[in-house]
Amino acid sequence: MLLVKISSEFYAALIVLVLFAGIITTFERTIKNNCLMVILVANFLMLILDAVTWLLEYNGMVNVLYEILTISSVSLLYIIIAAFNYYIYFYLSEKTRVSVWVGHFGLPICIAGIFMWVTSPVHGQVFYIEDGVYIHGPMYAFSQILGASIILFDVILTFRHRKKLEILDFVAIISYMFLPLVALVITMNYPEVGSLLIYLSVTLSMLMVYTFIHVQQSIELKEKENALTQERLSIMMSQIQPHFLYNSLNAIYYLCTKDPEMAQKAIGEFSDYLRGNLDSLRTKDPVPFEKELDHIKNYLALEKMRFDDDLNIIYDIQAKNFKLPALTVQPIVENAVKYGVGKSPDGGTVTIKSREYEDRYEIIVDDDGVGGYSEKKREYDGRSHIGIQNVRERLRIQCQGTLKIKSEIGRGTTVVITVPKLTD
């Protein structure tokens, strides 16, 4: 029996160490979480001291040392109770208005309890040692009620503000208070169990609190990350849409002086495009490549009207059955026309290819224009550079994709977009 008791407490102490490491590495450093750290440190020391106390009792060793270890372990239990009372206060203060005295409620009571145990070797009212055996005194039950009163206070406080709490946190907090109370009742009715059941119940409750709160914090962190991602995507899309509209309208403007009839036709096509595809321009979710290709064809049709024979377009599409962020290829094609073919005195060709491989899809946008594009030097204007960074970032966020550029002066520019085949 002795071996079981000592082993169980050392094992529980090991669990507490793991929880402490988890809080240190993953929890935000706040006053509330500092309370949890105090609880875990006190819990670890309490378990170790109590295990040694069991060993001393069964081996009939020095009474004074036995008394010191017993008082120390019980004092640590009071510290845990007071720290958890502070934890409840700081936690509820984040959710609702709570009076300051609530946080300090348990401290004087715990100090009184510790004082009773520290002085018990003198008066013997709480416990005494007789022939190396630990015996409860007449005031033992009262000393336990002191700690239980704080726990009951926290229970009432938690139930009072239950509507302000997340369900997982509510269950965890109640369990932390409920299990030690049950263990206390059992211990008072079966003294031979000693403090083992109480200490182990505190550790089990702490494990539940950590698990529930850690899960809740993980959920909240994921929600915050998703919100930030969607916000970034919204900003990025707002950068691209005006750029696309500007280029399209600029092409129509040019046609108004060169070929009014063609300009009229272009306006009609552009109007139909906006009417049918405005939703996809605003979408934050990946879209089918075929839909992206329709955007490109509409844009290039407008630019073809502007450049006429100076712009040649080749489509070499061998893969369509995949998705990618909306307006991913569009800005790349715009750059190929505006900064590649558009700057070449003899015009040129823009080639759009798509390929499927075992682990990925690739879209290649190639032009034989002037070349010489450099992201480091930002030889294109700021708007172009922002557009490429925008595309690269959305590829990374939405589908773990990549964008690579190879450009040579006088030979043109090739952009390769890679979309990996993600497995569920």
State pLDDT tens for residues 36-74. 888 888 888 887 887 777 676 655 556 777 788 888 888
In the block, residue with structure tokens 């809740």: 216
Residue 76: name the closest of 153, 5, 16, 155 by CA: 16
> What are the phi and psi torsion angles at 286 (to 5°)?
-60, 145
Please give the Cα distance from 77 to 106 (Å, whole number): 12
Cβ of 366: how many Cβ atoms within 10 Å?
20
Q: Are 62 and 131 in contact (CB under 8 A)?
A: no
- Helices H, strands E: what count in the chain? 12, 9
In the block, residue with structure tokens 């081996």: 59
pLDDT in tens, the chain (424 residues): 556 566 677 667 777 777 777 777 766 778 888 888 888 888 888 878 877 776 766 555 567 777 888 888 889 889 988 988 898 888 888 888 888 898 899 999 999 999 999 999 888 899 887 776 778 889 988 988 888 888 889 888 888 888 877 776 677 677 767 776 666 666 666 655 556 566 667 777 767 666 666 666 666 667 766 665 666 556 555 555 566 577 678 878 887 888 888 888 888 878 866 765 566 556 777 889 998 898 788 888 878 877 888 999 999 999 999 999 888 898 899 889 888 898 888 889 999 999 999 999 999 999 998 887 766 544 444 445 567 888 888 898 889 999 999 988 888 999 999 999 976 5
Cβ of 356: how many Cβ atoms within 10 Å?
14
Token reading at 43 = 């819990």
261 to each of 6, 50, 271, 275, how far by Cα in Å? 94, 94, 15, 21
Please give the Cα distance from 302 to 264 (Å, whole number): 11
Please give the Cα distance from 400 to 270 (Å, whole number): 32
Collapsing DSSP states into helix, strand and coil, what is residue 8?
helix
Q: Are strands 287-288 and 133-136 parallel, antiparallel or unpaired?
A: unpaired
In the block, residue with structure tokens 């004074």: 64
287 to each of 237, 290, 292, 393, 420, how far by Cα in Å? 14, 8, 7, 16, 15
Please give the Cα distance from 245 to 249 (Å, whole number): 6
Q: What's the mean per-residue pLDDT of the chain?
A: 79
Token reading at 198 = 């109480």
The type of residue at 375 is: E
pTM comes to: 0.52
Residue 410: name the closest of 371, 380, 379 by CA: 371
Q: Are 299 and 334 in contact (CB under 8 A)?
A: yes
Please give the Cα distance from 25 to 383 (Å, whole number): 41
Q: Are 13 and 200 in contact (CB under 8 A)?
A: no
In the block, residue with structure tokens 């499927």: 356
